[in-house]
A and B are shown apart, each in its own frame.
Chain A
Amino acid sequence: MLFWIIAAALTLAASLAVLLPLAGGALRPAPASSPDMAVYRDQLAELDRDLGRGLIQPAEAEQARAEIGRRLLRADSAAGLKAARPEGGMLKFVSTAAVLAIPLVSWGLYGMLGSPDMPPQPLAERLAKSPADSSVDELVARAEAHLASDPSDGKGWDVLAPVYLRMQRFSDSATAYRNAIRLEGETAARQIGLGEALTNDSGGIVSAEALAAFEAALKLEPTSPKANFYLAMAAMQDGRIDDAKNGWQRMLASLPADSPWRSAVQEALAEVGRRQAAPAAGGNGPTQEDMAAAQAMSPQDRSAMIETMVAGLDEKLRRDPHDVEGWKRLIRSYVVLGRADQARDALSRGVAVFGAGSADGKTVAAFAASLGVTATE
């Protein structure tokens, strides 16, 4: 509201700047002497000064004076030729057009270009508002700002690390876990988190460093299902299928009956069985590891994983919205998940980012249309 009041005040001021001179009362009387003559008189005075200082010779000064005198005469005869003409309908027409142009042009153009409903969003203010109202991004940014100024706050890293992991910022998460371990000492949870972050960062491959992290976690908490599960998976990826099988079987034996890990382990073992039955067929498929990871999950876990991925993508696009492919993927994902509303929402957000008229905006809209998603319903 305040914005509109100030905008109106500005428009008024601008209009007055046009209107007042046009409506102006008494006109300035024509100057007694033309500006040209003032210039020449000034030059004459300057000449006298130079002469007085001895900067020029009297003869030169005389010549110069004669020349300026000639110009003065010329200017004098030229002056007074121009008389102001009467101002009639012309003035009225132009004044009206000019005064109207100010609000029309400004409000019209601003209506097309502006976003009057968007408040300014200074970063400090966004970070200072109550945490309950903040988005995850804002909370993370606040934590990052704090850690940038005090990087030795181990607790801060400890809080941030799992958040990064959920946001799919895997390498940031790994760094945060490493810092937390360095500053706060190692715990099984931190080591497992580090291993998980590293594994996800390398696309599901359990690297040597990740393996070391899981092993360290097992030393602290030998029964950790997650660490055991990933260790078996590492063995599977190495081709040590028997080790993997043993690992999972040991888990199955020791897991409580109601453990959510049971089904995952059973799936994994089933996959091991298939691999052993047809070692050649699945031996070197390129997506072996991905498959193993997905296969190893129960249907519920799998859909949970997909949900996480879609949510992560959604988060990422909120953070960094200029990504045509990302928007396409997000819309497709929601369509596949059968969430028409969210797909529509993603479409309108994506188009808003690029502008409806832009090439990228059109690309996104066309893609969505091909999936049967349109902006209005």
Chain B
Amino acid sequence: MSYIVRARGIHKHFGHLHVLKGVDLDVAERELVFVIGPSGSGKSTLLRCLNRLEEPSSGSIEVAGIDMLDARTDINHARQHIGMVFQSFNLYPHMTALGNVTLALRKVAGKSRAEADALGQAALERVGLADRATHRPLELSGGQQQRVAIARAIALEPKVMLFDEPTSALDPELVGSVLAVMRSLRDSGMTMIVVSHEMGFARAAADRVVFMDDGLIVEQGPPARIFESPAHERTRAFIGQIQRH
């Protein structure tokens, strides 16, 4: 099996807080890994360590064959291979949807404006928003904004996509449209790591569910096993709580 992500012994301290206490995570090509766990368990921090938005305190991280923690690694180049989608979308409010998608294509991937516009338009097409290219973020619904954010990431043709609670800030009726886009991404063979509480989506689409608590991976396995017959008491308690809602 060829792995896109290999993380070993990741520790992260925020001052006195020990947020990650030695996490190992391997993600295979085309795999969809779902990371669940109570708030404060370190799942978002783990995700943000993978593209070095957070600097891990120790450990090793390899993404698409690049040693992410090597001082000689060009981090800006490496990040092109790692798409990231945020809870709060973080679209650039002063640019159109197309402008959001094409900025990195022009400034990082070195495309001409015409090339970038064509690729950007194609990316918006993939998330079903080709007709919103000239709209500004504030003229779009939350679901549409998040889909533009996904288009912004996939336009760079990343090797892996990180989703940090992509639907948590959305009104319930808008969640479906974002999950549908994630589903089609998954069907196209994108490797994905998703931090989310969308258990229905996890059941339907994930290859593997990772349960984290208190800075450690407690257990992991196929969604059916984690959800139906978790091995650990903490997993059972967490899943019980989630499913009651």
Is the pairing of A and B real?
no
Residues on A lying within 8 angstroms of B by beta carbon are none
Residues on B lying within 8 angstroms of A by beta carbon are none
